[in-house]
Chain A
Amino acid sequence: MAERDTSRDIDQAASGWTARLDRGPLTPREEGALQAWLSEDPRSRGALLRAQALSMASESAQALGQDFDPAAFEEPGRARSAGLSRRQAFAWTGAAATVASVAALSVGVSSAGAVISTERGEIRLAPLKDGSTVLLNTQTKIRVRYSEGQRLVTLLKGEAYFSVARDEKRPFVVEVGGRRLTTLQAGFRVRALGPDPVDVLVNQGEVDVGASALTPLASPVALQANTRLILSERGERPQRLSPERVTQELAWREGKLAFEGETLQQAADTFARYSQTRILVPDAGLAREPVTGLFAANDPVGFSRAVARVFDARLEQRGDSVVLTQAATRSSGSQ
C-alpha cells in the first residue's frame, strides 16, 4: 500500500487547487481530477475549505491600497524615509533579505582586522572576501583578520552564524573565549553571551573545537551537523539535536524567536536582547509558565499580548515597559 499522505502534502495539494480555481474555470478533465482528489482522503475536502477560506481572507488585502509597500510592514510606524536609525530593528522582510544575501555590508579587510558590530535589535550580514559570510545577531561584535595561512574571525561578544566557503589551504578559524573553532567548510552558530558559557551549534559540515588552555592535552572534538557543544571547563559533551530543534535555535536569522516550553521569564529575557521595550513579569507563578510559539523578535508587545490572552493575564504598558500581571479572577483550565 502506498504511504499515506501527510497533512502537509494535503495542504499543499489544497493550496494548488485553490490557486488553480483562482486562475479560471476548470476543464472537464481537471474537474474530474479535483473530484478524484477530494474523494481520495477524508482530509482533502476540509483542507480545501481552509485553503479557500484563507484565499478569501487575503482578498481583503485590496484594502491595503494600490501603493501598498510590503517594506513598510517591516516595522509598523517607522518612516521609510528616515535616516539610519540607531535602533534599527530588523523585521520580517528585512531579515529575509539578509538571509538571501541581498542587503549586504561590504567589509574592507585590512591586516589589522576589521571590526563589525550590531546594535540592539539589528541583524547584519557581513560578506567576507573569500565568499564566506557572517550573520551577526543583535548586539554582536566580531573582528576579521585574514592572512595567508588562515581566515581568522574573533567573536568578541554576542551571537553570529558563520557560513564558511570551502578553502582547503586556509582553514576558517573562529576565536571565542580563548578557544579556537576550526573548519574547512561549515555552517555554524557561535553564541557568547555575558556570563553564560560559549555555545556552538553546527548546522552543516564539521567544526573542530580546540582544547581549552586548562586542558591542553585533551584532543579536539569534531562536531558534526546537528550537534551542539557548550564550552565549559568540565565535561564537554556534544549533544545531538533534532533538525527541528536546530531550526528553532536559528530562527533569529529570520528575525524571529522560537520558544519550546521555555519559561515566560526566559522568553522575556530573550526579548530584552532585541528591544528596548522590557517585558516585566512580577508574579513568580506567571513567570514560570511555559511558552511555545514563534514570534517576531522586534515585537515584544505583540508577544506580550499573545501571552496575556493565553494565560489570562493583564497587560499594562508603562513607558518602555510592558507589565504582565495575573488577573485577579483567574479561571483554571479544567473543571
Chain B
Amino acid sequence: MSGADRQRTRWFLRNILPHEQALRGWLSRSAPSGVDPDDIIQEAYTILAEMESVEGIVHPRAYLFQVARSVIMRHVRRARIVPIHTVDDLERLEHFDDAASPEQYAIDRDELRQLARAIAAMPHKTREAFILRRVQGLPQRQIAARMRITENTVETHISRGILFLIDWFGRSGNKRSQTSRTVEAEIASIDGRARHQSRH
C-alpha cells in the first residue's frame, strides 16, 4: 500500500467504518425493496475510495449517509420503475441522522478487547496464523515455516481472518429487514461459515 493509500485507509477506518452498523441498520429499514444494503455499502465505499481528497469532509457520518443515498438513487434510476413509496422513503432518508452520537466514540476504549475477542473466536488454524501475523508480527513466510504449511495456505488463513473481522465488526451474516430497529453491536457471523472454512 502506498503512503497515500494508507492514509486514506486510516481515515476510512477512523471516520467511516464506525458508522457502518448504523448505516446498515438504516438501509435495511429504509432502502427500497430489491436494493441490498450490502451492495449499497460497498458501492458507497468505492466512491469514498476514489475521491481525490477527503479533507473537505467535516462530518464523515453525514457524508457517508449522503453517499449511500446517492447510490440508492442511482440504483432506483437504473431500475426505472420507482414505486411511489420509494420516493417518500428517499425523502425521509435525507433528514436522517447527521449528528454523530457521542456514544459511538465511547466504544473505542473497548476496541482492543473486542479485537482480542474477535481473534479468539476465529477458527482454530486461522486464529493461529492470524496471531502469528498480527500479534507476533511475523511475516507470512515465517509463519509458513512455523506452522509447517505452505505460504499459500498462510495467505488463505490471513484472508479468512480478515473476512472474519468484516463479519464480526460489520454484520451478523443475516439479513435483517423485517425489524424496525436493530441492535447491532457485538455481532459476529453465525451462518456457519467459520466452520465450513475450517474444514479445508
Q: Which residues of A contact B (CB under 8 A)?
A: 7-8, 10-12, 15-16, 18-24, 42-66, 68, 70-71, 73-74, 76, 92-93, 96, 99-100, 244, 247-248, 251, 254, 256, 258-261, 289-296, 299, 302-303, 305-307, 309-311, 334-335
Contacts and interface: CB of A to CB of B under 8 A. Distances in A.
Interface string B91-114: 010011000010100000001110
Given A46-B49, A60-B112, A73-B120, A310 B183 contact: yes
Pairs of residues from A and B, 10 with the lowest C-beta to C-beta distance, nearest first: A46-B45, A306-B185, A43-B42, A46-B46, A7-B38, A19-B159, A70-B120, A19-B158, A261-B179, A53-B13
B17 A53 contact: yes
Contact of B12 (A53, A92, A248): A53
B186 to A, nearest CB: 5
B48 interface: yes
Interface in B124-159: 124, 127, 130-131, 133-137, 139-141, 151, 154-156, 158-159
Contact of A48 (B13, B49, B120, B191): B49
Given A11-B166, A23-B140, A292 B13 contact: no
Interface string B38-60: 11011111111110000000000
A295 B183 CA distance: 10
Contacts of B135: 61-62, 64-66, 68
What secondary structure prevails in chain A residues at the interface with B? helix
Given A70-B127, A92-B120, A294-B190, A46 B43 contact: yes
Contacts of B115: 57-58, 60-61, 64
A222 to B, nearest CB: 25
B103 A309 contact: yes
22 contacts: A11-B42, A21-B1, A43-B43, A47-B42, A47-B45, A49-B45, A50-B17, A50-B42, A54-B166, A57-B13, A61-B112, A73-B119, A92-B120, A96-B121, A99-B195, A100-B124, A248-B190, A291-B181, A292-B181, A306-B183, A309-B101, A309-B185
Determine the interface band of chain B, counting residues with CB < 8 A from chain A: 35 or more
B82 interface: no
A261 B13 contact: no
A20 B158 CA distance: 9
Contacts of B133: 22
A43 B112 CA distance: 29
B90 interface: no
A297 to B, nearest CB: 11
B9 interface: yes
Interface string B4-25: 0110111011000100100000
Contacts of B41: 7, 46
Given A19-B159, A52-B9, A306-B186, 12 more contacts: A15-B159, A19-B161, A53-B9, A54-B17, A70-B120, A70-B131, A244-B174, A251-B190, A292-B181, A292-B182, A306-B185, A310-B184
Given A49-B45, A290-B179, A20 B134 contact: no
Residue with the highest number of chain B CB atoms closer than 10 Å, among A46, A71, A73: A46
Contacts of A68: 116, 131, 135
Contacts of A303: 186
B129 to A, nearest CB: 10
B188 interface: yes
Contacts of B195: 99
A210 B17 CA distance: 52
Nearest to A46: B45
Contact of B46 (A45, A247, A254): A45
A236 to B, nearest CB: 26
B175 interface: yes
Contact of A305 (B119, B155, B175, B185): B185
A185 to B, nearest CB: 20
A47 B41 CA distance: 9
Nearest to A251: B190
B49 A310 contact: no
Nearest to B154: A23
B165 interface: yes
B134 A59 contact: yes
Contacts of A10: 42
